[in-house]
């Protein structure tokens, strides 16, 4: 049994995440939405979701004194980053004319429009990348258990993660280019999509997380 904390820094639909986790996490004693560093430190597992702009996210984390709690959690216990909760684990983001992030991993967050053609012409893509798209699994990870290769997940984003550490890449997605849509190392798993909005595949991933001990070796 375990306590799962969902980090609340004032951005994102946290209640949809909580409801989805409650639906699948029979093994959890308690699921809480919290902005308390002490409660995050006391919890067994952490979900770090989020939406919105990188600068707003980092400003909120600083004001709430959550940076250390998040980094400590990512170093010590099962940790799931969702959307912005994946992006701000990197060094920097191009968003908001450049934003310094948590620098937990080497790499950056880049704008689709700097790499692909945007618009209605043939071969171009629309930004933001919004809707269903598939993830190609790049690691044999416990959180992929029961999720078929090329399963569809729900995305809403204009920026994507560029990993400097190739071994981090746990999933990739094509949208005008092939980008990293999931990363994993040790006790951390993070993804650009929204598992709480991703029907069967997303619920399976959240169920896997609720049972995960932080070991990244699949059975």
Kindly list the catalytic residues. 83, 194, 196
Evaluate whether 65 touches 58 at the Cβ level (below 8 Å).
no
Task: Give the residue from 106, 108, 104, 81 showing the smallest Cα distance to 94.
Answer: 108
- Tokens 């409650």 appear where? 22
Residue 87 Cα distances to 66, 184, 192, 193, 209, angstroms: 16, 13, 8, 11, 19
Residue 172 Cα distances to 37, 59, 73, angstroms: 32, 29, 25
Crossing angle for the helix pair 14-24 and 199-211, to the nearest 10 degrees:
70
Quick one: which H or E segment has residue 102?
A: none
Q: What ranges in the chain are assigned the alpha helix state H?
A: 14-24, 37-42, 54-63, 67-76, 84-87, 199-211
């Amino acid at each position: 049994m375990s306590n799962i904390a969902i980090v609340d820094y004032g951005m994102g639909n946290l209640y949809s995440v909580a409801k989805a986790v409650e639906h699948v996490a029979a093994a959890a004693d308690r699921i809480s939405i919290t902005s308390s560093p002490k409660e995050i430190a006391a919890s067994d597992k952490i979900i770090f979701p989020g939406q919105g702009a990188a600068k707003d996210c980092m400003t909120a984390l600083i004001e709430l004194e959550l940076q250390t709690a998040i980094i400590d959690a990512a170093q010590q216990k099962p940790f799931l980053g969702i959307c912005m909760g994946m992006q701000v684990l990197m060094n920097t983001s191009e968003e908001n004319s450049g934003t310094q992030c948590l620098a937990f991993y080497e790499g950056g967050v880049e704008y689709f429009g700097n790499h692909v053609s945007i618009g209605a012409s043939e071969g171009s893509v629309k930004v933001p990348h919004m809707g269903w798209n598939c993830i190609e699994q790049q690691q044999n990870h416990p959180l992929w258990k029961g999720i078929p290769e090329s399963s569809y997940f729900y995305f809403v984003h204009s920026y994507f993660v560029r990993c400097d550490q190739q071994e981090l890449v746990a999933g990739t997605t094509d949208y005008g280019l092939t980008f990293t849509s999931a990363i994993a190392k040790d006790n951390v798993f993070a993804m650009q999509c929204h598992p709480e909005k991703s029907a069967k595949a997303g619920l399976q991933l959240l169920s896997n997380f609720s049972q995960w001990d932080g070991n990244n070796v699949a059975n």
